[in-house]
Amino acid sequence: MPNFARLLALSLFLPLFWSLPSRAQIIGYSTMTADNVSYNAATGLLIASGQVVVIYNQTRMEAESISYNRTTGTIEAIGPLRITDPSGAVFTASMATLSADLSAGIIQEARLLLSNRFQIAAAEIRRSSDRFNILYRTVGSTCTVSASAPVPIWQIRSERIIHDTEAKRLYFEDARLEVLGVPVAFIPNLRLPDPSVQRATGLLYPQIISSEIYGYGLKIPYFLTFGDNADATFTPFATTSGAFLFEAEYRRRFHNGAINIHGGFAVRGSANDSGDSFLKSDVTFTLANNFEAFLDLSLTSDDAFMRRYGYDDADRLVSQIGLRRFEPNKFLEVSAIFFQSLRDDEVDAEVPFALPSISYRRTWEEALTGGRMGINASTLGLIRASGRDVARLSASVDWRKDWSAPLGIRATTFAKTQGDIYRVWDDMSFGDELLYRLTPSIGADFSLPLSKSAKSGALLVLSPIAQFIYTPELAFNDTVPNEDSLQVEFDETNLFGLSRFPGEDQIETGFRANVGLSYRRYDPSGWTVGVDVGQIFRANTNTQFSTGSGLSGKNSDILAAISFELPPKYRLISRLLVAPNIGIRRAETEIALDLDRLDLEATFVFLAADVVADSPVDRSEANIAIGYRISESWSTSASLRRDLLGNENIYGEIGLVYANECVEVAVSLSRRFTTSNNVPPDTNFDVSVKLAGFGGGTQLRERAGTCMKMQ
């Protein structure tokens, strides 16, 4: 019989005479291919050689030669051999004695590769019941081992490892951790998840930090899983100053929402902060009829606690609870908002609590003119422990319609009328009566987009825009308190806005023309340059805005923006607010570079003094962040925030990272140069080490691995 026919017949009829001792083996189905096969019916001995491949269910073995003894039901395999089991584990060895279904036996001078990442060399591996692999005299690592680097950066030596393929756990006995061949830790018993596990209960990588405030600190997080949808992290935080803190974070996902709670408290403190704590939470749930419930909580027992221990640098904390509903043409939100000030110059009793805060918006197509109608309704209550309390009820209706005029002119006409009712308590500037205000507005804008194709293939687009708005200042309107419109910014985003005030308490009035010109050049090589210029012209002098805002007077300051972009490598955006006869009132420049090895982001800001905005002096800052990839494994970064006018640094940080396929070592040094919230300037030093291979979240760099040899 020809050789091919013999192999084909053997593959078809092998299950008929393959002796399997267990029911699982009887159910299974085996196939085999080889260059040469012989079978002795009298002795029950089958011998195959030359590129032998045996497949039983999802287990595959490749060997140079095998002999199968029907009487004992065992396979003797001579290597080099390779076994791949259903879990994805790969065994390589010189010889093995295995059961017929390949699930049990002894593998000599073996190596085990898990998830193509963690490799273990062992003198012997015993497979048991298709679940347990027991490895003796082992050394394991995820580091690449080669002739030029025979000693891995780290490795774990152990007398015995039990690999539970069902529970996906590795149990080490008498283990020691070696770094560059030097023992650094001895652990009698160690349990780790195998690399295929994405989330597993156990210790996470420790973090070593230092601070001028609390000395050296050590964090050792412990991670707990609660099924597929919930987990928690508990982190003791010990310092050499005597302070001891405890952090906890709980996360859970539901089919209709999520919970994330993070908090910490000081068991002992180094700055009279024993018992101090903070709590943050982010909770969202989707309910019936497109409703969403939400809770954003941020609280602390002490103004300086979070900044002192590096949890948060915010100077105000905002907490909000409420209900919102999104629909294609409707929006509703009902909420309560709590503010906690951490600033030295603010009194908590004078910071308002917003209850209730209700906002409703609905739009629809209006059939009479073909325009679009909209209505808004809102309420706001501001309650203080000490000082003015305010209640506001507002409602408005608006209409907008787009037109196509001759000569390519695009026009939009719009109108809006807003009514407000106020009630004020505990403020002698306002009486006990209700305050009323009615504010109608009408306007139109016109644009003429022009485009041209240059000989170079570039597309040039020029768009002049003129917008005319009239909002009368009605004599019967009462003066109302201003709570939400104190901070005013003038930029290209609100040049064509109905009102430049950010809130509802103040509405821009008078007749004004918002004029702008936009130019874009789209080059065929991919880069784009743009220029935007705009200014506001008024019929009468406006006294609603402060001088420093750039919006006061008969005409506003000149607004200009210049941009250059070549995605994804280059981006430059510069914005200017120029006051005639005075000079630059505000300047902002953003630069971003994303090159092969260099990443750069820089921001420069200049703000002229504005007493109304609580900025009595000019301010100018620069913020620069640089990242440089020195090589495949080494990278460095640096950032600096500096007060240019005060000629002093605000914050700086430098970092160095080494990362390859098996380890990541990150070192950073940061310095806060300013005093804030009763926290003095502070220098922090941070060291973290991550070893890849245990848990899905620890894979660092992709690099082809070499199975390690016994050391």
Cα 630-636-640 angle, rounded to 5 deg? 140
Residue 499 has pLDDT above 90, yes or no: yes
Span 338-396, pLDDT tens digits = 999 988 888 888 999 998 899 999 999 998 889 999 999 999 999 999 999 999 999 99
The span from the CA of 241 to the CA of 219, in Å, is 14
Is residue 676's pLDDT more than 80?
no
Taking 70 as the threshold, does the pLDDT of residue 4 lie above it? no
For the ranges 2-11, 409-418, 598-607, 646-655, which has the lowest average pLDDT?
Answer: 2-11
Whether pLDDT at 16 is above 80: no
8 pLDDT above the threshold of 60: no
Residue 195 has pLDDT above 50, yes or no: yes
pLDDT for res 237: 95
With a pLDDT cut of 70, the percent of the chain lying above it is 93
Polymer length of the chain = 711
Which tens digit of pLDDT belongs to each residue from 157-170?
999 999 998 888 89
* The two three-digit tokens of residue 660, written as one number: 């390859």
Of the candidates 240, 235, 223, the residue with the CA atom closest to the CA atom of residue 265: 235
**Can you give the pLDDT at residue 272?**
67
Confidence of residue 242 (pLDDT cuts 50, 70, 90): confident
Determine the Cα–Cα distance for residues 240 and 208; give it in Å rounded to an integer: 12
CA quadruple 647, 653, 656, 660: dihedral sign: negative
Residue 677 has what pLDDT?
A: 67
- Which pLDDT band holds residue 461 (cuts at 50, 70, 90)? very high
Name the band, by pLDDT with cuts 50, 70 and 90, for residue 211. very high
Closest CA to 665 of 636, 643, 694, 639: 636
Angle in degrees, CA 314, 316, 319, rounded to 5: 110
Residue-wise pLDDT for 67-107, tens only, equals 988 888 889 999 899 999 887 889 999 999 998 888 889 99
Spatial neighbors of 212 by CB under 8 A, at least 6 apart, are 680, 681, 682, 683
Band the pLDDT of 548: cuts 50, 70, 90: confident
User: Residue ranges per domain, the chain?
Assistant: 3-196, 571-660
Alpha carbons 380 and 142: distance in angstroms, whole number: 59
pLDDT digits (tens, 9 = 90+) for 573-597: 999 999 987 789 999 999 999 999 9
- pLDDT tens for 643-675 read 999 999 999 999 999 998 888 999 999 999 988
Q: Which amino acid, 187?
A: I
pLDDT averaged over every residue in the chain: 88
The reported pLDDT for the residue numbered 29 is: 55
Does 146 or 92 have the greater pLDDT score? 92
Residue 262, pLDDT above cutoff 70: yes
Contact in structure between 545 and 557 (CB atoms under 8 Å): no
> Which long-range CB contacts under 8 A does 386-390 form with residues at least 24 apart?
386/347, 386/349, 386/350, 387/349, 387/350, 387/426, 387/427, 388/424, 388/425, 388/426, 388/427, 388/481, 389/424, 389/425, 389/426, 390/422, 390/423, 390/424, 390/425, 390/481, 390/483
Say if residue 555's pLDDT is above 90: yes
CA-based nearest residue to 269, from 301, 307, 300, 238: 238
The domain covering 3-196 belongs, at the CATH homologous superfamily level, to: Lipopolysaccharide (LPS) transport protein A like domain (2.60.450.10)
Q: Identify the three-state secondary structure at position 614.
A: coil
Residues 6+ apart with CB under 8 A from 699: 117, 195, 692, 693
Q: What is the mean pLDDT of residues 439-451?
A: 96
Q: What is the pLDDT of residue 287?
A: 94
Query: Residue 231 pLDDT > 90, yes or no?
Result: yes
Q: What is the pLDDT of residues 473-496, one digit of tens each?
A: 998 999 999 999 988 889 888 999
Q: Using the predicted structure, report yes or no on whether residue 312 has a pLDDT greater than 80.
A: yes
Which residues contact residue 655 at a Cβ distance below 8 angstroms, ignoring those fewer than 6 apart? 636, 637, 638, 666, 667, 668, 669
